[in-house]
């Protein structure tokens, strides 16, 4: 029994010495973890500072881009609707019919119901210059109406101030701006939309080439609006300000100097 007791004491001493070594090793690991924690915290702070610096740089580039190359502003349009002119010239058209047509143009079908659009026809958004404008309410029917009319009319096109030309140019510039913003912000766009005037097997790219059919035009506009909304979501633009059909107005909210998250 005495010999067994001695053996047990020796084993206990070995376990105690081993426990001491493990405790020292544990304290060493804890010190190492504390150092790593401090290093990670410092790196995280530096990374956050780098993100802020990058955001400020992106923001400065975007504001310069939209003030020098792609300036946008809201303009009051004094142009009259062609339907108003034709209605006034038609003596058979009654005043009640004219008022009903005017009321119809001030309404928009949205989310399964008709809503009143107070800005319909009153204001437009210009891009790169006051002469290149888009309707504020996102109604681009003047473009494909003009295209369908040109199909039945032969001869050279001398109407350089036709709304269809300005709509096509404005959408082309908007596409170019959106593609540039996606590069600056490093955000992948959900829809592929090219703004270069090059020939492919399907024809010219989007808004820059030949007159598009109504189907191709509306499809391209939807893709452009989807890309703009995607950029707005990535930059935390207030959702209450956005409208799925307001192309340039959504862009104005995106690149506004008042946007706190621009460049994130």
Instruction: Supply the range of the domain harboring residue 3.
Output: 1-34
Query: Do 114 and 192 belong together in one domain?
Result: yes
**Cβ(166)–Cβ(131) below 8 Å:** yes
Residue 40 pLDDT grade (very low, low, confident, very high; cuts 50, 70, 90): very high
Query: Do 132 and 237 belong together in one domain?
Result: yes
65 occurs within a structural domain: no
Query: Do 158 and 28 belong together in one domain?
Result: no
Measured over the CA atoms of residue 135, residue 138, residue 141 and residue 143, the dihedral's sign is: positive
Residue 254 pLDDT grade (very low, low, confident, very high; cuts 50, 70, 90): very high
The model's pLDDT over 53-69, given as tens digits with 9 standing for 90+, comes to 999 999 999 999 999 99
Work out the angle at residue 122's Cα, subtended by the Cα atoms of residues 64 and 249, and round it to the nearest 5 degrees.
Answer: 30
Query: Do 118 and 227 belong together in one domain?
Result: yes
83 occurs within a structural domain: no
Least confident residue range of 82-86, 210-214, 230-234: 82-86
Task: Summarize the confidence of residues 27-31 as an average pLDDT.
Answer: 93
DSSP 46-72: HHHHHHHHHHHHHHHHHHHIIIIIS-E
Task: Summarize the confidence of residues 219-225 as an average pLDDT.
Answer: 91
Number of domains in the chain: 2
Query: Do 120 and 241 belong together in one domain?
Result: yes
Tell me what pLDDT residue 57 has.
93
Task: Summarize the confidence of residues 208-221 as an average pLDDT.
Answer: 78
Tabulate helix, strand, coil % of the chain (nearest 5).
60, 10, 30
The H or E element that residue 113 is part of is strand 113-116
147 occurs within a structural domain: yes
Query: Do 107 and 235 belong together in one domain?
Result: yes
Query: Do 27 and 101 belong together in one domain?
Result: no
Quick check: 29 pLDDT over 90? yes
169 occurs within a structural domain: yes
The H or E element that residue 261 is part of is none
Query: Do 3 and 110 belong together in one domain?
Result: no
Query: Do 248 and 129 belong together in one domain?
Result: yes
60 occurs within a structural domain: no
Query: Do 8 and 134 belong together in one domain?
Result: no
Query: Do 122 and 232 belong together in one domain?
Result: yes
Tell me what pLDDT residue 167 has.
87
The model's pLDDT over 174-200, given as tens digits with 9 standing for 90+, comes to 999 999 999 999 999 998 887 665 444
Query: Do 26 and 101 belong together in one domain?
Result: no
Task: Summarize the confidence of residues 34-42 as an average pLDDT.
Answer: 93
The model's pLDDT over 143-167, given as tens digits with 9 standing for 90+, comes to 877 777 776 665 555 555 577 788 8
């Amino acid at each position: 029994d005495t010999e067994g007791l001695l053996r047990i004491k020796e084993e206990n001493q070995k376990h105690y010495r081993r426990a001491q070594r493990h405790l020292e090793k544990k304290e060493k690991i804890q010190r190492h973890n504390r150092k790593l924690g401090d290093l990670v915290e410092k790196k995280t702070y530096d990374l956050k500072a780098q993100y802020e610096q990058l955001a400020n740089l992106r923001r400065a580039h975007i504001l310069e881009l939209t003030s020098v190359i792609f300036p946008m502003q809201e303009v009051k349009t004094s142009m009259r609707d062609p339907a108003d002119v034709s209605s006034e010239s038609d003596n058979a058209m009654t005043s009640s019919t004219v008022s009903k047509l005017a009321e119809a143009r001030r309404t928009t079908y949205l989310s399964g119901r008709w809503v009143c659009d107070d800005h319909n026809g009153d204001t437009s958004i210009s891009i790169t210059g006051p002469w290149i404008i888009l309707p504020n309410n996102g109604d681009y029917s003047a473009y494909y109406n003009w295209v369908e009319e040109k199909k039945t009319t032969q001869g050279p096109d001398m109407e350089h101030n036709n709304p269809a030309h300005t709509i096509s140019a404005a959408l082309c510039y908007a596409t170019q701006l959106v593609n540039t913003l996606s590069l600056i912000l490093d955000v992948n766009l959900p829809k592929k939309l090219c703004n270069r005037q090059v020939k492919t097997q399907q024809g010219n790219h989007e808004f820059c080439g030949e007159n598009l059919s109504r189907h191709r035009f509306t499809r391209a506009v939807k893709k452009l609006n989807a890309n703009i909304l995607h950029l707005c979501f990535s930059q935390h633009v207030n959702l209450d300000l956005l409208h799925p059909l307001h192309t340039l107005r959504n862009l104005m909210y995106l690149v506004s100097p008042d946007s706190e998250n621009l460049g994130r």
